[in-house]
Amino acid sequence: MNELVFFINNVVIAGSVTGSIYAIGAIGVTLIFSIMRFAHFAHADMMTFGAFMVLLLTTLFPAAGASIGVPTALVMLPLAMLLTAALAVGIDKAFYKPLRFHGVKPIVMVIGSLGVTLMLQGLIRLFSGTGGQSLYVDDRKEIFRIALPIEGVRAPIVITEPQIYLFVITLVAVVALHLFLNRSRLGKAMRAMSDNPELAQASGINTNTIVAVTWVIAGGLAAIAGTLLSLDVTFKPDLSFFLLLPIFAAAIVGGVGHPYGAIAGGFVVGFAETLAVFNWHVLLRPFRDSLPTWLELPSNLAFVSTEYKIVVPFFILVAILVWRPTGLFKGKVI
Amino acid sequence: MSSTETQPLLDARDVHGGYGSMNILNGVNMALYADEVGVIVGPNGAGKSTMLKAVFGLLNVNQGEILLNGQPIHNLPPNQLVQRGMGFVPQEKNVFPSLTVKENLEMGAYLKPQNVKRMLEQVYDFFPPLVEKRHQPAGELSGGQRQMVAMGRALMAEPSLLLLDEPTAGLSPLYMNEIFDRVKKINAAGVGILMVEQNAKQALAIADKGFVLAAGQNRFTDTGAALLADPDVAKSFLGG
């Protein structure tokens, strides 16, 4: 039973944490693709920007959360989402809109977004420095140890406060997005434009408004993903950038342009990563006595070591592109 | 049928136009009154769909003018034409495939959200088969039903003029008759209709006005019945 608890801690919880962050990041990437038809490489650094805004605001008002009993960083999150949304709209106005206006090919937009990502990285480092900083400035990260009421189980289930917030906020964000896309007039218009931009225009839908709304949502979600990631570990200016590959893998696995696919893809990639680095030795240990004597159980039985975790999403990406290029949910073929 | 004393709903005069500066239309004239069905027929490459797209502002009018209720509208963008009461149903890609039938129709009334309820009822009245399909994605419907969704979407904005680009293309004869039937019904409800058709005989049979185009110019212009009776038209354009 102790082994099962170990599995829950290291796979179920860890995979859900990674999966949630990938999912929220991938929703943004997939929405931008479905409306503007290009892969937005600056998305990861928009996540970093959002987390950095939270860090700045938390440093300025470190005690704001204590009065209502939540981490200050979470109190600052809505404000950071607004700032990141404003940044996203501003970046679009300054860099992507002129390109769109000239009717460039999608690959030019992609290269443009690479330029934006370099610029954002430089700008953020200029103010944040290159080191890691905790988003818990004045408050303390709670760690909950839940002992199971089962005889013989010594190990507790370990979950941290930011992880609980992460699950709650992910759930709220996904439900809110679902309601927006399916119930609101603007959300339906967004899906319409993703389906058939010419017909959307012929119906009188203002496509510029839809583009702006897309950036607001993508920016807000990026701020959530970056902040939740930084809360779980610490804020580092390059933290989100390393998630770019898994996030794109998640969007493609789910089917590009398909928000629900992005959520599924996020969890597929997240759990695949976690399972690949999980040490299966622990789960096999109880059966050691029943194994034949010539079979010696190696002490490390992970598929890949933690340092090479990044090959997992890469492998999934290649596999999906080879065997099912439209993704699990039949997205668009890029 | 036509009220000759008032001004035409649509008045195209000597229209030259095409993609960029290359002209496909070389002087087309069309006058259509508010209570009429107009049908454009002619051989392939005659500029039938091009004329319809020129009316809806989808390509350049380089010479001549197009008037809607006496107001010049040539070279206005499509979304402004929608606001002025024009609806356009393209031949292909004329629905939002992943949106449900109801959502497709709602998008048609995007600029008039207060009308959605009333217009939905009216559209379901014109196209009863859509009622039970209303929660299905439009991409899963048959060709004929999809055409109904497309026409319904355009009707949601309460247009005074509806442009249809080959509404019966690829449909079985059964569906073709049903679509023509609906066109008459919609027209009877007070919507002027201008459509391009390959099924010339059947289309001219319901037309108040017929325009036979060839090489980007009017060859014959008359009432539908007169064109059907004209041996010259029959010989050259209706296959005898």
Read off the pLDDT of residues A186-243 as tens digits, 9 standing for 90 and up. 999 999 999 999 899 888 888 899 999 999 999 999 999 999 999 999 999 998 899 9
Residues A272-289 as b or e (16 or more Cβ within 10 Å = b): bbbbbbbbeebeeeeeee
pLDDT at A324: 85
| Interface of chain A toward chain B, CB-CB under 8 angstroms | 185, 188-189, 191-192, 194-196, 198-206
pTM of the full structure: 0.88
Give the nearest chain A residue to B94 (CA atoms).
Answer: A199
Chain A residues whose CB is inside 8 A of the B108 CB are 203
pLDDT at B3: 47
Q: Residues A272, A310: contact at Cβ < 8 Å?
A: no
**Parallel, antiparallel or unpaired: strands B217-222 and A143-146:** unpaired
**Contact B107/A203, CB-based, under 8 Å?**
yes
Q: Is A325 exposed, middle or buried (0-12, 13-18, 19+ CB in 10 A)?
A: middle
Please indicate if any CB of chain A lies within 8 Å of the CB of B89: no
pLDDT at A189: 95
pLDDT-derived band at A331, boundaries 50, 70, 90 = low
Q: Residues A297, A291: contact at Cβ < 8 Å?
A: yes
pLDDT at B2: 47
The whole-angstrom separation of Cα A261 and Cα A329 is 5
Nearest residue, CB atoms, B153 vs list A191, A201, A203: A203
Please indicate if any CB of chain A lies within 8 Å of the CB of B110: yes
Is the pLDDT at A317 greater than 80, yes or no?
yes
Q: Residues B111, A204: contact at Cβ < 8 Å?
A: yes
pLDDT per residue as tens, chain B (240 positions): 444 558 899 999 999 998 877 889 999 999 999 999 999 999 888 899 999 999 998 888 999 999 999 999 988 888 889 889 999 999 989 999 999 999 999 999 998 889 899 999 999 999 999 999 999 999 999 999 999 999 999 999 999 999 999 999 988 888 899 999 999 999 999 999 999 998 899 999 999 999 999 999 999 999 989 999 998 888 877 765
Please indicate if any CB of chain A lies within 8 Å of the CB of B102: no
The whole-angstrom separation of Cα A124 and Cα B160 is 55
Chain A residues whose CB is inside 8 A of the B56 CB are 202
Tell the residue number behind the tokens 């069905």, with chain if given.
Answer: B37
Give the nearest chain A residue to B98 (CA atoms).
Answer: A195
**Contact B78/A202, CB-based, under 8 Å?**
yes
